[in-house]
Structure 1
Amino acid sequence: MRVALFLTCVNDTLYPDTGRAMVKLLSRLGVEVEFPLDQTCCGQAHYNTGYRHQAEPLARRYAEVFADYEAIVTPSGSCGAMVRELYPRMGERARAEGRGGTLARTLAPVIPKTYELTEFLVDVLGVTDVGAYYPHTVTYHPTCHGLRSLGLGDRPHQLLRNVRGLELVELPGAEECCGFGGTFSVKNADISAEMGRDKVRNIESTGAEALCTADNSCLMHIGGIMTRLKVGTRPLHIVEILASTEEEPLS
């Protein structure tokens, strides 16, 4: 299977270790993953801010760059949801506006083969035990796009429960939004920060050594608040735990 890594803007700019962990993990599982250098933004920030037409060239670029791959794997539930949930809407809106079905036809091939990481591991590879080792207490925050748009469900928990040495602690109010919401955190900063503080208080109540999510944008928001409140829980992407082994522990 020819597999491509779609790293996303946030990870490429701020969290390159997430991409390295993705390659390490998938390679360990026998997947030869490629990183197309021509990849750019999926257009989510533009689309969600109301600039739908400006997002269309980015969507076309995504479709062109990843056209020849059998699977596209991303460590971002929000960007995965952009492709799977909103690309079809973009195509239909273009058609409804009398601009023909070209955009819809261009985007259609990449939509069903775009996977968030935990989906790819569980649904495509059929793996729930990735051979990871992480001897710490961990709590998991299910991000909104992963939970509501992609329907990741129990997949991340299945993977975490099979990590040797890891104790998974339930997060109170887990399904409540952390308050990031992309541009929501900019336009409604006070509300966003208070929602984030609620989330952090729940995280702190678990006593977990680490908090993990499947989306670094939410983790950035939560992690920043934890730093300001001097909460000692370590924020990290789930792939960093899954890539960690006894022989090569997470640094």
Structure 2
Amino acid sequence: MIVAVQTTRVALFPTCLTDTFFPDTARAVVRLLERLGCTVDFPLDATCCGQMHYNTGYREHAVPLARTLASAFAGYDAVVAPSGSCVGMVRDVYPKLLDGSTSVPRMYELSELLVDVLGVTYVGAYFPHRVTYHPTCHSLRLLGVGERPMELLSNVRGLELIELDEAESCCGFGGTFAVKNADTSTAMLTDKMWNVLGTGAEFVTAGDNSCLMHIGGGLSRMRSGVRAVHLAEILASTEEEPWPVTR
């Protein structure tokens, strides 16, 4: 169980993939947290967490990246990232990778921060669409976020939350796994897409843009009409500032 931190000053770690390909997710995190009364800092010295290097076997290249990121977020009581994968890297791998030489940032996945730290499950969101949720592997198995994302989604006004069959099955992305094992990855993705389509949902959401990029790309190529959207963007959506569904 994560110990709650009494703070309204939060640092944002957007992650490489979100910063490069899905900046609207990072903006949504800021908009959401500011609506809840938080002050959000964005340390410019933060770089990649080193997960890609570490997972691919380049441990020596991951160490300086880990030290740089840890230094950038030193002193913050709470750091939030819209990625269970990167948070898992920091929380699970950094203590071993840094070997006590540098303090590990107190980093939370978004749903953890909202529910455990800020103590909220209703965030004032409005999203009048049918939505299904995919629990990503790292958030599910490494962080154990459990029902937190579902609690948050179930409290979004107008949202119809539809259960996903075989939800806990991997989508097949797995970072470089999708590149090195393309055929297996595609087969796993196909199973996930059929389960998503079977819900009749308009949107599939998750806490990691990496998995959403994989699933959403497949659904787009199928011309399915189902769109992928990050959990943060749903939670940041309101009647006054709706998510831009036409983009």
Identify unmatched segments of 5+ residues in structure 2: 1-6
Higher deviation after alignment, 120-129 or 222-231 = 222-231
What amino acid is aligned across from residue 23 of structure 2 in structure 1? P
CA RMSD between the two structures: 0.8
What amino acid is aligned across from residue 236 of structure 1 in structure 2? V
Q: C-alpha distance in 2, partners of 1:56/1:107?
A: 13
What's 2:107 paired with? Answer: 114
Asked if structure 1 preserves the Cα contact closer than 8 Å seen for 2:66 and 2:98, the reply is no
Q: C-alpha distance in 2, partners of 1:77/1:234?
A: 20
What amino acid is aligned across from residue 115 of structure 1 in structure 2? Y
User: Are 1:128 and 2:135 counterparts?
Assistant: no
What's 2:206 paired with? Answer: 213
Q: 1:45-95: CA deviations, max 9, x gaps? A: 000000011100000001110002111000000000000011122134xxx
Asked if structure 2 preserves the Cα contact closer than 8 Å seen for 1:81 and 1:149, the reply is yes
* TM-score of the superposed pair, with normalisation by structure 2: 0.94
What's 1:100 paired with? Answer: none
- Identity over the aligned pairs, expressed in percent? 64
Identify unmatched segments of 5+ residues in structure 1: 93-103
- Residue 145 of structure 2: which of 152, 175, 183 is its match? 152
1:214 Cα deviation after fit: 0.2
Asked if structure 1 preserves the Cα contact closer than 8 Å seen for 2:74 and 2:103, the reply is no
What amino acid is aligned across from residue 16 of structure 1 in structure 2? P
Asked if structure 1 preserves the Cα contact closer than 8 Å seen for 2:220 and 2:226, the reply is no
Asked if structure 2 preserves the Cα contact closer than 8 Å seen for 1:76 and 1:216, the reply is yes
Asked if structure 2 preserves the Cα contact closer than 8 Å seen for 1:59 and 1:107, the reply is no
Say how many residue pairs are matched. 237
Q: C-alpha distance in 2, partners of 1:184/1:229?
A: 22
* TM-score of the superposed pair, with normalisation by structure 1: 0.93
- Residue 101 of structure 2: which of 99, 102, 105 is its match? 105
What amino acid is aligned across from residue 146 of structure 1 in structure 2? S
Q: C-alpha distance in 2, partners of 1:203/1:90?
A: 37
The ranges of structure 1 where at least 4 consecutive aligned residues each deviate by more than 6 angstroms after the TM superposition are none
Q: C-alpha distance in 2, partners of 1:107/1:150?
A: 19
Counterpart secondary structure, 2:184: helix
Counterpart secondary structure, 1:245: coil
- Residue 143 of structure 1: which of 115, 122, 136 is its match? 136
